[in-house]
Structure 1
Amino acid sequence: MMKLRTVLCFLLLVAGLNTSAQLYNIKDYGAIGDGKTMNTQAIQKAVDAASAKGGGKVVVPAGSFLTGTVHLKSGVELNLEPNAVLLGSASLADYERNDRWYALLIADKQNNISITGKGSIDGQGHDLAMSILKLVKNGAIKDPLVLRRPNETFRPQLIELQRCNKILVKDVTLKNAACWVQTYNLCTDMVFDSVKVRSTAYWNNDGFDIVDCQNVVVKNCDVDAADDGICLKSSDASSACENIVIQDCKIRSSASAVKFGTASLGGFKKIKVNNIFVYNTYRTAVALEIVDGGIMEDVEVSNITAKNSGGGVFIRLGHRKTTVPPGIIRRISIKNVNVEIPAGKPDEGYGIAGPPEEDIFPHNLMPVIIVGLPGHPVQNVSLENINIVTAGAADKKKAYVSLDSIPKIDERASDYPEYVMFGELPAWGLYARHAENISIKNSNFKYVQPDFRAPFVFSDVKGLVMDKVNVPAVISSEAVILHQVSGSSIKNLKTPLPGKATVYTLK
């Protein structure tokens, strides 16, 4: 049903692009594309004129059109022709904010909005961020400068749409944001098709932020971002991200490629992620997180290829928002995943690269992590056709967890969720703790250089199935370490273990 609904949503929006719509060329309203003249009023006049007539196509022709905040309105298609650049001002004074953040393009409670064309939107993010930093240091803006950068709420995004319905973003290039590139909050019926994101100008450059939205398709997109690539968030406990398809995308990130969270008050429901190519990504290819009391359920992840990624899959049920009970993660299906994890930093050489986390949380490589809380397990996770190749070469001098220390690994229940949050873990393939009904089938885990740790460690798990799991490399430990595991079925586990048992139960 979800697939049919999202396809219908897509067809409806595409059909809504009226090729015979009246055209409103921004030059006819006084815009000058020299990259120097401020065109905010001219562009807004064109948008207002189209809206007053019930809708139309506002055309940005070839040229570089400097502008501050423009308010998009119902029925308006903003069309950027080839070689057209909507150039964001480098001065905060030229931006407006809604009840959330500053942005170059803003809309609230509008319908039938489109941003299309082969042109680009350039936020001049580095210069804009530097000018805001100067305002902070001069005392014009009160900001504690956490992490030595201006607060996110002072750094304009390229697009911020909220409480809108029927949105299409197609073919455009979005680049050089000073903060998150684009946020869609409490919106419905959206399609993003063939959008290119090139935003590594400054910190917090998430490629997509989709917040508490329903009926969404993200397809054929190409993202290179200094923060999370495609990120679903839930900031409203009474709402959720629901009925969403993310497919046929290419992602590079100095954080995680596909991420649900960190904000997770309402949750994430009925979501499909399919056919994603991930490369040079600092953290994990797929991160699924509930830490603020929300519910994540009925998530299908399939056909993921990740080359040069810091981790493969990270699933975390935490308790960051302590004023509400812990949330729920259940019914997660992950299949056909191929991940290659290097020895060094996967995003080495990028301008805004991930921090040296191994200095903060010393650890060896950790491909797959599933961790809940005591009494609040991650439930019903199926892993099938998972192929992990890790560089291996773990070093006890860097980090080491002995078998008798497994029960003592810090819960870090309220910590910000990242795959390195626990420091060293005792498994080089898959580590699961506080989980229920975990199934791993038809999968291969191998390293390039030997690793002293066990391939698989399970702690406080009820219901474990392993079938046709292959560890081809000779290992120095038992293949599977069990601690407080009940209801397990482990069969057809293939691994060369001369003189060792395949499964070891920790007393």
Structure 2
Amino acid sequence: MKTKIKAGEGQGADQSETVALSRRKWLNSVSWPALGATLGLSFINNQPSLGVNLKPAADNDHTLGTRIYNIRDFGAKGDGKTLDTIAVQNAINACNKDLGGTVLVPAGTFVIGTIELKSNVRLYIAAQGTLLGTVDGKQYHAADAIPLTGDSTLNDGNVGLLYAVKADNITIDGPGTIDGQGAQFRSPAKGVLPPAGISGPHRPYHLLFYQCNNLTVRDIYLLNSAFHSVRVIQSEFIKMEGLHIRGRVVNNNDGFHFISCRYAHVSNCDVQSQDDACALFGSCQFITITNCTFSTRWSVFRFGGGVAENITISNCLIYETYGCPIKMRCGPGSRFENISFSNIVMQDVTGPVSIGLGVQSSSSTTATNKPPGVVRNISFRGITATVVKPVPLRDASFPSNYNPGEIFSCVTLNAMDDIYMEKITFSDVHITYPGGGTAEQGAVRDVPKVAGEYYQIGVPPAYGIYARNVRGLILNNVSLSLNADDLRPAMVFDHVDNAALNGLNIQGSREAEAVVRITDTSAVLMTAIRLEGTAKLFLQVEGTTNKRIKIDGGDISPAEKTLSFERGAKPLCVTWRV
């Protein structure tokens, strides 16, 4: 068959051009998904089995890698009831086979179970498009290629609503929504299965990636995951941009959870989670996080295990966070180094900073084949924080209980035995605390030697900063103030070596035993210290190994007494110049 095509009017009325195309050549020259959209392909929409056999592109097709694969053309209904898993998967498979392109989720609510993403596929969710996780737990399956081992960083499960394994060049974007219906995966009572029929590690993450490269997730709304929202394992070259993550329907609603990732960048995201808002576990390196807002029951930036280094976190707003915004737990064999936090506002938080170095719990044994952990070169600059006593998390689906160490919290730098964290810097840091601590709480000397959750040491003996086994501590232009009286010291140093405190503005209490208490500490220089409020004693020195403590200038006149020496401390260890 021959087809004559007349030239357009711009060619002149007396000019025409005959182009001969065989039917076969013409059909092979067009995009089948695009053609299906044009012709309606009603015959596909009427096939429940979704046995769609759209013709693949020819090798010489110039549209390879650029085509659009509308999931409705593969049989997806989008009616909020029909299970569209196979249709979505077929669209992704076709896109991948044709060397990539865009899989389009148009307007509609598309119910799905587990979907595998593949290399070179962009999944675009339109503004009125929703991928809705089914509440039928049988529609989810594990990604067997993702190992589950005794390693605590990998044993949380390997089930994803959307997942990819060893895939490259994946993008998920668009203004649409992925809704995990996570509340249906919460058990009504202990030992009772939730409505979805699966629980624990069998629940699906919103997005699960393992050993992927060049991964981008951008602009979408991730709502009510049944587990973590975004979990990325052993992957590189990652961008998370402009995401809105909201999940407060199960206890394990993490926002981002990175495990042993490199070259990952998170920006312009808003996260409201129930558990860790942005966890970095395993060996995470070359990470930037900026221009984000976070709120959660637990921590925001949580570090645990492995080698975390070369990381910057900046320009973030943290609010209503009742589990310590910045929490670092470094056990044997781990190393945290070269990590910077800057320009961060914390409003209504507990904590606000906790770094633990050593054994993780009171039941741990000190014997291990791993070398001691290392925490070194951690800086905090431009931090403003308002610390409060925790209250029920707004919009959470269930109540939370709080430990005494969460109700009374402070900045905690906690190493132990012969292990020291090194070179910890606080500059331009201003923290307001709620007060309410008692003299009995401040009198505690035997603080538990545990570097796990920040509240496991109990109520800290200081309302502002508690530092144990720190070498190279710098406090520059730091202010610690109270909204109500607190009978604990503002700062307690225990085995601190080589510290410089300059421009410290600190509030005391008339009934506290001292404003600052130091024990077996050496090489400390305090300059330009200013004391606010009233106090009966500024500095109490305890222990027999204190030395080279120098106070040079400042105004501590509100204190009735300057120095006291207890528990074997010698007056010669301190020099003073007003």
Q: Same fold (TM over 0.5)?
A: yes
Q: Aligned partner of 1:74: which letter?
A: S
Work out whether residues 333 and 383 of structure 1, in 8 Å CA contact, stay in contact via their aligned partners in 2: yes
- Cα distance in structure 1, aligned partners of 2:245 and 2:522: 46
On the 8 A contact 1:113/1:166 being kept in 2, the answer is yes
User: Which has the larger share of strand?
Assistant: 1
Tell me, yes or no, if structure 1 residue 106 matches structure 2 residue 163.
yes
Deviates more, 1:210-219 or 1:313-322: 313-322
Post-superposition offset of 1:159: 0.8
Structure 1 spans left out of the alignment, 5+ residues: 1-17, 142-149, 235-239
**Deviation (angstroms), 1:496:** 4.0
Partner of 2:524: 488
- Counterpart of 1:386 (choices 429, 433, 438) is 429
Q: CA RMSD in A?
A: 2.3
- The corresponding residue for 1:305 is 345
1:90-489 equivalences in 2 (<5 Å): 90-98=135-143, 99=146, 100=148, 101-130=158-187, 136=193, 150-151=199-200, 153-234=201-282, 240-261=283-304, 264=305, 266-320=306-360, 322-345=368-391, 347=393, 350-358=396-404, 365-395=408-438, 400-402=441-443, 405-406=444-445, 408-412=446-450, 417-472=452-507, 474-475=509-510, 476-489=512-525
Take 2:260 and 2:489, find their aligned partners in 1: how far apart are those partners? 39
Task: Quote the offset at 1:130 in angstroms.
Answer: 4.2
Deviation at 1:241, TM superposition (A): 0.4
Q: Deviation digits for residues 112-137 of structure 1, max 9, x if unmatched?
A: 00000000100111113449988759
Shift of 1:154: 1.6
C-alpha distance in structure 1 between counterparts of 2:332 and 2:393, whole Å:
29
Give the one of 28, 31, 44 matched to 2:89.
Answer: 44
Shift of 1:175: 1.2
Higher relative contact order (CA 8 A, sep 6+): 1
For residues 283-303 of structure 1, what are the alpha-carbon distances to aligned partners after superposition, in whole Å with 9 as ceiling and x for unaligned?
112112212521110001001
The alpha carbon displacement at 1:497 in A equals 6.9
Q: Which whole-Å CA distance do the structure 2 matches of 1:241 and 1:377 have between them?
A: 22
| 2:116 is aligned with 1:75 | no
Structure 1 position 229, deviation (Å):
0.7
Name the CA distance, whole Å, in 1 between partners of 2:338 and 2:236: 19
Q: Secondary structure at the match of 2:315?
A: strand
Structure-1 separation of matches of 2:188 and 2:514: 57
Q: Which whole-Å CA distance do the structure 1 matches of 2:486 and 2:64 have between them?
A: 60
Check 1:305–1:498 CA distance in 2 against 1; reply closer, same or farther (3 A cut). closer
> Once the 2 structures are TM-superposed, how far is the Cα of residue 111 of structure 1 from its aligned partner?
0.2
Q: Is the 8 A contact 2:65 2:100 kept in 1?
A: no
Distance change >3 Å, CA 59–CA 348, structure 1 → 2: closer
Uncovered stretches (5+) of structure 2, i.e. residues with no partner: 1-62, 149-157, 544-578
Provide closer, same or farther for how the CA distance between residues 292 and 178 of structure 1 changes in structure 2, counting only shifts above 3 A: farther
Aligned to 2:49: none
CA distance in 2, matches of 1:345, 1:452: 22
Q: For structure 1, which segment, 288-297 or 19-28, has the greater mean C-alpha deviation from structure 2 after superposition? A: 19-28
**Structure (1 or 2) with the larger CA radius of gyration:** 2
Residue 542 of structure 2 is aligned to residue 506 of structure 1? yes
Note if contact 1:309-1:346 (Cα within 8 Å) is conserved in structure 2. no
Q: Which moved more, 1:100-109 or 1:272-281?
A: 100-109
Residues 1:51 and 1:114: Cα distance change in structure 2 (over 3 Å): same
Q: Match for 1:412: what amino acid?
A: V
Amino acid at match of 2:481: K
Amino acid at match of 1:117: G
**Equivalents in 2 of 1:366, 1:490: separation in Å?**
24
Contact kept in structure 2, 1:258 and 1:285, CA below 8 Å: yes
Q: Do the aligned partners of residues 472 and 411 (structure 1) sit closer, same or farther apart at CA in structure 2, a change above 3 Å counting?
A: closer
Contact 1:226–1:352 under 8 Å retained in 2? no
CA distance in 1, matches of 2:109, 2:246: 17
In structure 2, the residue corresponding to 1:421 is in which secondary structure?
A: helix
Query: Counterparts of 1:52 and 1:499 in 2: how far apart (Å)?
Result: 74
Change (3 A) 1:118 1:364: closer
Using the TM superposition, give the Cα deviation of residue 503 of structure 1 relative to its aligned residue in structure 2, in angstroms: 2.0
CA distance in structure 2 between the aligned counterparts of 1:303 and 1:365, rounded to whole angstroms: 25
1:31 corresponding residue in structure 2: 76
* CA shift digits 1:457-496 (9 cap, x unpaired): 0001111111101014555342221101011111211104
Query: What letter matches 1:39 in structure 2?
Result: D
Q: Distance in 1 between matches of 2:401 and 2:370?
A: 31
